[in-house]
Amino acid sequence: MAWKGILAQGFPEPLMSFLAHAQSPEEYAALAWILEDGMKRFYSQMANTFSTSHAAVQLFEQLATEEEHHKSELVRLHASISGKKADPGFMYSLVSGSSHEGFLEGGVALEDALGWADGKEIIEVFELCIALETTAYDRYLVMEDQVEDAKSKQVFHLLSSEEKSHLRSMTEQFDTMRKGRPAVPE
């Protein structure tokens, strides 16, 4: 990432049109599931990529596990809203224009993020993760405000709180790396 004035540049481009597709609580749940799935896959890959950093591996694996938990919450939310049991690929079928290739929180294509991360220093990847977690936190606050049913509000509130926790963990790790100290996750 590089700074040009007050703007940070150098991260993969988000696909905002993908994010604009969701209109109903069912579609919000599907969109959130797709983004959580992409983040899980990204964090798992980063744990493999940076396998020489024990602390980073622990944090990436912890985050991947938490993203999987978020997906489970969203499957339950979808079932409670729609009254239907999910089949494989159902979330992608609910959001028009989506692809099974995956997207990250923030609307970045998984493939673009993995390509961008290739050859990057771990601290640069943490900068991207912080930006993505910040976007996810904001996205879930917006979804919570836009849905009307109490169950959906509760799930999106829970997800925003958990994304805020991810953000805290990532910034602590980032600050530790910036200061050149060995990183120790919570």
Domains and CATH numbers, the chain: 23-178 (1.20.1260.10)
Cα–Cα distances in Å, from 152 out to 47, 49, 118, 146? Answer: 31, 35, 37, 10
Choose between 21 and 178: higher pLDDT: 178
Q: What is the mean pLDDT of residues 125-151?
A: 88
Judge whether 33 and 94 are in contact, CB under 8 Å.
no
Please, what is the average pLDDT of the chain?
80
Judge whether 47 and 60 are in contact, CB under 8 Å.
yes
3-state SS class at 134:
helix
Where do we find the tokens 């590089």?
Answer: 2
Confidence of residue 7 (pLDDT cuts 50, 70, 90): very low
Judge whether 104 and 32 are in contact, CB under 8 Å.
no
Q: Specify which of 6-10, 66-70, 149-153, 179-183 reaches the highest per-range mean pLDDT.
A: 66-70
pLDDT digits (tens, 9 = 90+) for 13-69: 554 445 556 677 777 788 888 888 999 999 999 999 999 989 889 999 999 999 999
Judge whether 159 and 140 are in contact, CB under 8 Å.
yes
What is the value of pTM for the model shown? 0.81
Choose between 13 and 1: higher pLDDT: 13
State the amino acid at position 56 in one-letter form. Answer: A
Separation CA 5–CA 162 (nearest Å): 32
Which structure tokens are listed for 33?
């599931």
Judge whether 126 and 175 are in contact, CB under 8 Å.
no
pLDDT digits (tens, 9 = 90+) for 145-170: 888 888 888 888 988 998 899 899 88
pLDDT digits (tens, 9 = 90+) for 79-110: 888 887 766 567 776 655 555 678 888 778 89
